[in-house]
Amino acid sequence: MIGQIQTKSIQSRGENRTNLMAKIGDYWTLCVLVVIIAIFGILAPRFLSAYNFLSTTTSATEILLLAIGETFVIITSGIDLSVGAVLGLSGITGGMCMQLLGNSALSLIVGSLVSLVTGLIFGTVNGFVVAKMKITPFIATLGTMGIASGVTFLLSNGADITSLPTELTSFGNGNIGKVLSYPVLITIVLCIISGIALAKTKFGVHTYAIGSNEEAARRTGINVPRHIVKIYALSGLMAGISGLIVAARFASASPISGQNDELNAIAAVVIGGASLFGGRGTVLGSVVGSIIIAVLASGLVILNVQAYWQTVAVGAIIIAAVFVEQLRHKTK
């Protein structure tokens, strides 16, 4: 009898620990975000101002848009190292078209389309190289990252493009009630669409299936190569959108835009709970991860702390994220 009671007690503690880890895994990043905001709010009260909220959320869109596409890629157990370089190239190609056509509605439309198509083309190439040529995603996207970066500097000669349509720059710096900027509004819409697509559609089911077990997904009738091409094309498209919005925000297209953004985007996805081994991740988690990175950058700037500490903090959070995920799966 005593032995049975002890066994039940041990099982109960095990179940409680499992439930606790599941809850921590679901909400710990959100708790971290709240704690970081509270700390910065105490140390620097102006951190909680409406102006800083507007600035921080707007700057977060650059990484968040990349993280949306990266989320789909990582869930399929892939990785896209080219998104930062593609962001820069998309801004340059679109900016060059706008500069050529002058300050007009036609310039805005054509230039915007060129930015998006540039991202889409590079993403599709990534998907083809990974899915059809069977080159590992790390090597494939590392190669296209170098190509995109080189083409960017060849086209721009290393100079910024500043002659952008007034409507574009007005959009990039416009806001609603000095609280919600237009770039943030567009990003929210894209996050909602992407989140629904991942969680509620066949496209999302296939994405998770490929990341969980590619061979099993293939046997169930999923066209794995075609789906992977679509995933990388989506990632490239999001980089193109981000490149266009960054150019709009800064009223110029710079060849150095997007440098190291791929690392922050991947970090945001991992912090948000995605597994680099595939099969797990959410758009909402990536949103929280992106905001954490943006909040850290903003808070450290306000506190006059060297920007290098941001990378230290992000690295620590990534390690903590992976550690929590390991604990979750050990208790399952």
pLDDT band with cut points at 50, 70 and 90 for residue 305: confident
DSSP β-bridge partners for residue 180: 176
- Residues near 4 by Cβ (< 8 Å), separated by ≥ 6? none
pLDDT band with cut points at 50, 70 and 90 for residue 310: confident
Asked if pLDDT for residue 17 goes beyond 80, the answer is: no
> For a pLDDT cut of 90, what percent of the chain falls above it?
73
The burial of 201, by beta-carbon neighbours within 10 Å (0-12 exposed, 13-18 middle, 19 or more buried), is given as exposed
According to CATH, the topology of domain 17-330 is ABC transporter involved in vitamin B12 uptake, BtuC (1.10.3470)
- Per-residue pLDDT tens digits for 142-191: 999 999 999 999 999 989 998 899 999 999 999 998 889 999 999 999 99
Sign, CA torsion 171/173/176/181: positive
pTM to 2 decimals? 0.90
Residue 51 near residue 178 (C-beta atoms within 8 A)? yes
Which of 1 and 136 is assigned the larger pLDDT? 136
Q: Give me the residue spans of the domains in the chain.
A: 17-330
Residue 187 near residue 265 (C-beta atoms within 8 A)? no
Provide the mean pLDDT of the chain: 89
Asked if pLDDT for residue 207 goes beyond 90, the answer is: yes
* HEC per residue, the chain: CHHHHHHHHHHHHHHHHHHHHHHHHHHHHHHHHHHHHHHHHHHCHHHHCHHHHHHHHHHHHHHHHHHHHHHHHHHCCCCCCCHHHHHHHHHHHHHHHHHHHCCCHHHHHHHHHHHHHHHHHHHHHHHHHHHCCCCCHHHHHHHHHHHHHHHHHHHHCCCCECCCCHHHHHHHHCEECCCEEHHHHHHHHHHHHHHHHHHHCHHHHHHHHHHHCHHHHHHCCCCHHHHHHHHHHHHHHHHHHHHHHHHHHHCCECCCCCCCHHHHHHHHHHHCCCCCCCCCCCHHHHHHHHHHHHHHHHHHHHCCCCCHHHHHHHHHHHHHHHHHHHHHHHCC
pLDDT band with cut points at 50, 70 and 90 for residue 19: low
Average pLDDT over residues 275-292: 92
pLDDT band with cut points at 50, 70 and 90 for residue 218: very high
Average pLDDT over residues 21-50: 82
- Residues near 45 by Cβ (< 8 Å), separated by ≥ 6? none
Residue 324 is predicted with a pLDDT of 76
Residue 119 is predicted with a pLDDT of 97
Asked if pLDDT for residue 256 goes beyond 80, the answer is: yes
Residue 6 is predicted with a pLDDT of 47
> For a pLDDT cut of 70, what percent of the chain falls above it?
91
Nearest to 278 by CA among 208, 328, 201, 215: 208
Residue 331 is predicted with a pLDDT of 57
Residue 24 is predicted with a pLDDT of 54
Give Cα 297 distance to the centre of its chain.
16
Here the tokens at position 129 are 């190289």
Average pLDDT over residues 40-68: 93
Average pLDDT over residues 283-294: 94
Residue 291 is predicted with a pLDDT of 94
- Per-residue pLDDT tens digits for 265-275: 999 999 998 98
Residue 332 is predicted with a pLDDT of 54
CA distance 214 to 290: 28
